[in-house]
Chains A and B, each alone.
Chain A
């Protein structure tokens, strides 16, 4: 089983719908991150969390919200999806030493029609 699991792997939704992307990890890491990737734009940070009660905005948080339900789970929500939120979304985790790197999930491809 993967250390960082993202569900679903693919999702197609319509404009205006609420959608949740989920991330769970078995690495026991405190820190979790959500990124989006658009072709040619690299990775952009949406939200990050140091623990269950510590959540921070990233570069592009508008239109998104997150929930850290437990140390192992970090969900990303689009309250009212719009087409320019079509992208590949990655979840990542890290331990608090920050010396072993980030571990990424396999990504969720989201299409908003």
Chain B
């Protein structure tokens, strides 16, 4: 199963951009990169996903390296409500059954007021 590596924790100041890195050196050509976040006392929620091109949505941006071995989740202007654990996962699309979704430990993001 393809795995991801993320820093255990990061800190950022409120109202500044945050760049959360993820390494996935064993990614296959059909794996999508997904990001989730888990707010305190809640279940994880989907943030964004991509395959090769950079992606933007109302929550965040996803920058994918040209070789796809790493990606970065970008929060453009962090707020205290963005303090959460962020998970980077790979989701296979090689076949109908290629969907064993493995989460790691994620990155705990602390936002300083």
Contact = CB atoms under 8 A, between A and B. Distances in A.
Interface of A: 31, 33, 35, 40-45, 48, 50, 56, 58-59, 90, 92, 94, 96, 98-107
Interface of B: 32, 34, 36, 42-46, 49, 85, 87, 91, 93, 96-97, 99-106
Contact of B99 (A31, A41, A103, A107): A31
Contacts of A45: 100-103
A32 B105 CA distance: 21
Contact of B103 (A44, A96, A101, A103): A44
28 contacts: A33-B101, A35-B103, A41-B105, A42-B85, A42-B103, A42-B104, A42-B105, A43-B87, A43-B103, A44-B103, A45-B103, A48-B100, A48-B101, A56-B100, A90-B44, A96-B96, A98-B32, A98-B91, A98-B99, A99-B32, A100-B46, A101-B34, A101-B46, A101-B49, A102-B101, A104-B43, A104-B44, A106-B43
